[in-house]
Amino acid sequence: MNTDMKQKRQIVVGDIHGEIEGFQEILENAGLIDRGRWGGGSDILIQTGDVIDRGPYSREAVDLLKRLQKEAAAAGGKVVRLCGNHELMILQGDFMFADYNDPRSLAHALKEEIMRGSILASYTDGERLYTHAGLRSAIRDILMDEMRAERPGLRSDPIDLSLLSEHINAIFRDAVRDDFPDELHSIFYVGPDRGGGDPYGGIFWCDFSSISPSEEASKIPQIFGHTPTRKNGVKTARRSSLIDIDAGMCRVYGGGRVYLEITPEGRVLQHSKTRSGWTITPLS
């Protein structure tokens, strides 16, 4: 684990989709907010994208994350905000699911935050890679070839997750800055399982059912969202090296209240709300 991650607790939350009350409930149970303000001290919150659309309070959820990001930084903590496919859609001018006023202005504001580095496509804690929908091995190989071309002699085993994440984020920023050129990088691919014409889905569009069978993809431990589990818990594959955190927080997907806690010792704990209260389940 990276030195700056040691002794810091990490909380991972999946797709919000405008369900701000559910998100606040999770943050309160995790001890990250106190009376609506950041109360997590040096803790790290990782939110895997799809903050907007479907639920009733998209803009409010974006504003909350933006404010908490500033408050956490002032307290020695951190809020990592990842871009999901729904944010990507409005950035590309597709407002099909935008159920709030003036999505164009939100897209402009998100673009500015991406350029400042406040919203990322990828993040790593040194142990795992975090993206919205997961990184398939076919796209990973493309990225590694690009990195080796820039850095002759770069080892591919083990993969340097920091360099990989930086490379993904540079591709993402360049595409956003250039208003998404016609020839998009493979990280933006939309595969057939999501109605696209590419052979496989990129990090914003990959479906859990397409990445979970892959032994090669699991060579990088990953946590991602995007595919609603439609149960009150996460989905795992390959001895929990692949974890789908999207438990359907939005009532459209069942209203699940689930998050992951990664302890300073590296234990991964699933927190889920049931009728009798919150339960904790260790993941192997």
Extents of the domains making up the chain: 3-283
Q: pLDDT digits over 121-169, tens only?
A: 999 999 999 999 999 999 999 999 999 999 988 887 889 999 999 999 9
The top-level CATH class assigned to 3-283 is: alpha beta
DSSP code at position 258: E
* pLDDT for residue 3 is more than 50: no
pTM of the model: 0.96
- Closest listed residue to residue 23, CA positions, set 56, 226, 115, 270: 56
SS3 186: helix
Q: Measured between alpha carbons, how far is 171 from 177 in angstroms, rounded to an integer?
A: 10
Q: Measured between alpha carbons, how far is 103 from 91 in angstroms, rounded to an integer?
A: 9
Share of the chain above pLDDT 90, in %: 91
pLDDT-derived band at 47 (thresholds 50, 70, 90) equals: very high
pLDDT recorded at residue 77:
98
* pLDDT for residue 4 is more than 60: no
Mean pLDDT for 41-47 is: 98
Q: Measured between alpha carbons, how far is 263 from 265 in angstroms, rounded to an integer?
A: 5
Q: Would you state the structure tokens that stand for residue 211, as one six-digit string?
A: 């990445």
- 197: which residues sit within 8 A by CB, 6+ positions away? 190
Mean pLDDT for 18-42 is: 97
Angle, alpha carbons 4-66-274 (nearest 5°): 80
Distances (CA, A) of 269 to 10, 204, 255, 258, 283: 10, 25, 20, 11, 6
* pLDDT for residue 120 is more than 60: yes
Mean pLDDT for 49-53 is: 98
pLDDT recorded at residue 7:
74
pLDDT recorded at residue 64:
98
What is the gyration radius of the CA atoms in the chain, in angstroms? 18
- Give the strand order in the sheet containing 222-224: 123-124, 129-130, 222-224, 242-244, 235-237
Lowest average pLDDT, out of 1-5, 13-17, 67-71, goes to 1-5
* pLDDT for residue 5 is more than 80: no
* pLDDT for residue 60 is more than 70: yes
What sign has the CA pseudo-torsion 100, 101, 103, 109? negative
pLDDT-derived band at 1 (thresholds 50, 70, 90) equals: very low
pLDDT recorded at residue 6:
59
Q: Measured between alpha carbons, how far is 39 from 43 in angstroms, rounded to an integer?
A: 9
Instruction: Sort strands 33-34 and 37-38 into parallel, antiparallel or unpaired.
Output: antiparallel
- 63: which residues sit within 8 A by CB, 6+ positions away? none
Residues in the chain: 284
pLDDT recorded at residue 10:
98
